[in-house]
Amino acid sequence: MADVAAKERKILVAVDESEESTYALSWCIENIITGNSTDTLILLYSIPPRAVYSSLDGSGYLFSSDILASMERYSNEVAQCIMEKAKRACKDLVGVKVETIVEHGDARDVICQAAEKLHVDMLVMGSHGYGVIKRAFLGSVSNHCAQNVRCPVLIVKKPKN
């Protein structure tokens, strides 16, 4: 359907375990990327910082290094699982270069920093990456990124039905 050569774009998609994120990636593939084989699609997942520490923290919890190592292993497995799922969603894209990045840190910081560092043409994300409670305190991740990232930001909401 192309009459003029489409531009080569570098598109960053923030992925996580939420349904919103899965939907945003699928929507982006179907509506933005399909039909343009010159794109580079970068899938980004940030492993959230852990809430407990090896020394006694304010809340009084103390975890052994074994437990911490096991928690870290679990986080990495979750990250791997999310990335595998995201890559499977991209498997029918012909010619598109798909890259994956896993970082540690708060999603808001990780996404904003990656968008700047990688000089992407566009950031795509689901409308909410946090749970309801955390969102009430921190505001939505997408809101933060839309306000702080310099490149165009596409926010995709999962339809209710």
Binding site for a second copy (CB under 8 A): 1-7, 9, 24, 27, 30-32, 34-38, 94-95, 121-122, 127, 142-143, 146-147, 150-157, 159
- Nearest-approach distance from CB 154 to a second copy, in angstroms: 4
- Nearest-approach distance from CB 1 to a second copy, in angstroms: 5
- Nearest-approach distance from CB 158 to a second copy, in angstroms: 10
Torsions phi, psi for 123 (to 5 deg): -110, 130
Q: What angle do CA 152, 108, 106 make, to 5 degrees?
A: 155
- Nearest-approach distance from CB 153 to a second copy, in angstroms: 5
Cβ closer to a second copy: 15 or 79? 15
- Could you give the CA distance from residue 51 to residue 28 in angstroms, rounded to a whole number? 32
Cβ closer to a second copy: 114 or 122? 122
Amino acid at 149: V
Cβ closer to a second copy: 10 or 87? 10
Query: How far is CA 149 from each of CA 90, 110, 113, 137, 152, rounded to the nearest angstrom?
Result: 25, 11, 8, 21, 8
